[in-house]
Structure 1
Amino acid sequence: MQIALFDLDHTLIAFDTGQAWTEFLIRRGHWPAEARETYLDFCRQYVAGTLDLHAMHRGSVGRLREVPAPTLARWLADFRAELAPRLAPAAHALVARHREAGDLCAIVTATPRFLAEPLAALFEVPHLLATESGLDEAGRRTGEIVGEPCFREGKILHVERWLARCFGRSLATVARSWFYSDSASDLPLLQAVSDPVAVGPDARLAAHAQAAGWPVIARPVLPSAP
């Protein structure tokens, strides 16, 4: 058994899913323009290594607290339609190479599951490990994270639980494992797989990859936005 794991933002895609979602909702008039700066501030915290993912979730997903589930489903369908032309052919080709080789493919992302699902479907990746968002009794987003965020060391926990639950395996017992990521925040999982690959890496990951002799590939090129 061989597995290929892919980070999402700035790895398989050349943009940030949460930022794209924020801009989508602002353009549609569903969110106020100031939501943009709120989200960008969280992005700056991420780059600085100070991000509290729970606070980010409350500040972004929490804005959907009053949105009925059917309405959110319509927004997500429209969002998926906007995302499709923004996916780079090189990213599709990378996933396809692993899929055609018989490798088990999964996206492993800190992005909330409900936002990552449209992208997993577009890439035809059957398994998605993501941060889980809480729901109230009416099926609306609460803004709280359920369980361990799929972030930093939490990505290893999500992968190990998935392998154990679905296949009775662990990272240590698969024949070969790849993980593709752009960020030093993913070093725990990159160091846990047999074949780490840095994708358009940030400065810290680039330095680590060079020192460790890891392969480095270019980030997928973003097609022109619609």
Structure 2
Amino acid sequence: MNLALFDLDHTLIPLDSDYRWTQFFIERCPADEQAALHAMNDKLMADYHAGRLDPNESLAFLIGLLARKPREVLDAWHGEYMQAVILPAIKPQARALVEQHRAAGDRLALVTATNSFVTAPIARAFGFEVLIATEPELAYERGFTGRWVGTPSFKEGKITRVQQWLAQEGLALEHFARSHFYSDSINDVPLLERVTDPVATNPSPALEAVARERGWTIVRLFDDQEIH
């Protein structure tokens, strides 16, 4: 059995699920708050793409928004978000890539920095049984607290979280003859360096430069081009 790990945003879907969910959420906030919230969302996205994102600042904002509404409201909004934003964005070639590894009998996991409230329904849409995501703290009597628990699944944190998951299964990365990780982001270089088959998928310019220097496979999933 081999291992296949997948990033989500701009890797399996051609958008950022966290950014787009936050936009969706903000549009349902009071009008006098929206400009400042959109500005913060845009700043965090720019920081992420520049490789300078402060995860504590990002999570305090993004997960903090979840604490503003009861869970039943968030769940209803997320259902609308899936129908309006996510499901139309899931392309056949992305599903085919996942299914290729599933058909080969590989162990699969979706590994994303975006929190599990946003990404769990997306993982289910792709048929993933394992989701490794940043975990928002949940107080069952009143919804989310605005805090997070455990190690955020970001940069080196993705290695930690993958290792924790495998250890629970009595496994380690080294137990797999081949391990794949598909990602678009320069932020994922730490985990890309740990697998046997790193695949720069729809890569950002920064990641493409690294991939070309190191001879990694480059896949352009959404324009039907592949460069090796």
TM-score (normalizing by structure 2): 0.90
Could you tell me which runs of 5 or more consecutive residues in structure 1 were left unpaired when the two chains were aligned: 222-226
Task: State whether residues 51 and 186 of structure 2, in contact with CA within 8 Å, keep that contact through their aligned partners in structure 1.
Answer: no
The answer to whether the aligner puts 1:113 opposite 2:116 as a matched pair is yes
Deviation at 1:29, TM superposition (A): 5.1
Deviation at 1:163, TM superposition (A): 0.8
Among all aligned residue pairs of Structure 1 and Structure 2, give the percentage whose two residues are the same amino acid: 41
Q: Point out which structure has higher relative CO (alpha carbons under 8 A, 6+ apart).
A: 1
Bigger drift between 39-48 and 22-31 goes to: 22-31
Could you tell me which runs of 5 or more consecutive residues in structure 2 were left unpaired when the two chains were aligned: 224-228
Structure 1 outlier segments of 4+, above 6 Å: none
Deviation at 1:56, TM superposition (A): 1.1
State the number of aligned residues: 220
Task: State whether residues 199 and 217 of structure 2, in contact with CA within 8 Å, keep that contact through their aligned partners in structure 1.
Answer: yes
1:73-121 C-alpha deviation (Å, 9 max, x unpaired):
2112222222111111111111011111111111100000110111101
Task: State whether residues 11 and 220 of structure 1, in contact with CA within 8 Å, keep that contact through their aligned partners in structure 2.
Answer: no
Deviation at 1:204, TM superposition (A): 2.2
CA distance in 2, matches of 1:139, 1:110: 24
Task: State whether residues 63 and 148 of structure 2, in contact with CA within 8 Å, keep that contact through their aligned partners in structure 1.
Answer: no
* Alignment partner, residue 68 of structure 1: 70
The answer to whether the aligner puts 1:33 opposite 2:25 as a matched pair is no
For 2:128, the aligned partner's letter is V
Query: In structure 2, do the counterparts of structure 1 residues 4 and 139 end up closer, same or farther at CA, with 3 Å as the change threshold?
Result: farther
Q: Please report the RMSD computed on the Cα atoms of aligned residues, expressed in angstroms.
A: 1.7
Deviation at 1:138, TM superposition (A): 2.2
* Alignment partner, residue 202 of structure 1: 204
Query: In structure 2, do the counterparts of structure 1 residues 204 and 66 end up closer, same or farther at CA, with 3 Å as the change threshold?
Result: closer
Task: State whether residues 155 and 187 of structure 2, in contact with CA within 8 Å, keep that contact through their aligned partners in structure 1.
Answer: yes
Write out aligned runs for 1:1-226 (5 A). Answer: 1-28=1-28, 32-34=33-35, 35-82=37-84, 83-136=86-139, 138-165=141-168, 167-220=169-222
Deviation at 1:66, TM superposition (A): 3.1
SS of aligned partner of 1:5: strand
